[in-house]
Structure 1
Amino acid sequence: MSEDELADVLRYSSPDTIYIITWNNLLKKLFCPFRVVVKHQIGELEKCEVVWVDSVKVTVKLKTVFMVKGRAYYYDHFEILDPD
């Protein structure tokens, strides 16, 4: 992916929001901060710990990253808690 293509994709992303598909196929927009559960120990985070995602970032390879307690973690280390 070229830098121009990446810039075009990032133009539509926001560090304050993320879209999710719920278990019943509804599209939901979550605003930071939102709560997640840690799936397994990673860094200083313990398994089953509930933490807040402060912002959402994207890597150069377009993988979603959650900013938690000032550190970046790939999204797949977490399960998003139902906001309702």
Structure 2
Amino acid sequence: MSNKELIELLKSCSPNIIYVVNGQNRIIKLHTPLKLKVVVDIGSYRKDQIVFCTELKITKSGRIVFYIDGKNYHTYYFDILTK
């Protein structure tokens, strides 16, 4: 993704809001901090541990990452807990 494309993408993104599809197939808007469940051991986190994402970021390739305790993690290591 070029810098120009990344700039355009960032214009429509928020570091504090994410839209997800819940178990009832409805789109819901979530605000940070997000409650997450770790699905595989990653870094100092262990499977089934609960952590909180304080900010959402975007990589240069346009993928969302979770900012947790000062580090960025790809979303596929976590499940978002909506309740």
Give the drift of 1:21. Answer: 0.9
> Number of paired residues?
83
- Residue aligning to 2:3: 3
What is the TM-score normalised by the length of structure 1?
0.92
1:23-42 per-residue CA deviation (whole Å, 9 max, x = no partner) reads: 22211111000101000110
Where relative contact order (Cα < 8 A, 6+ residues apart) is larger, the structure is 2
- Residue aligning to 1:35: 35
- Residue aligning to 1:15: 15
Spell out structure 1 runs of 4+ moving beyond 2 A: none
Question: Any unmatched runs of 5+ in structure 1?
Answer: none
- Residue aligning to 1:68: 68
Give the drift of 1:3. Answer: 1.6
Q: Which is further off, 1-10 or 35-44?
A: 1-10
Provide the alpha-carbon RMSD of the alignment: 1.0
What is the TM-score normalised by the length of structure 2?
0.93
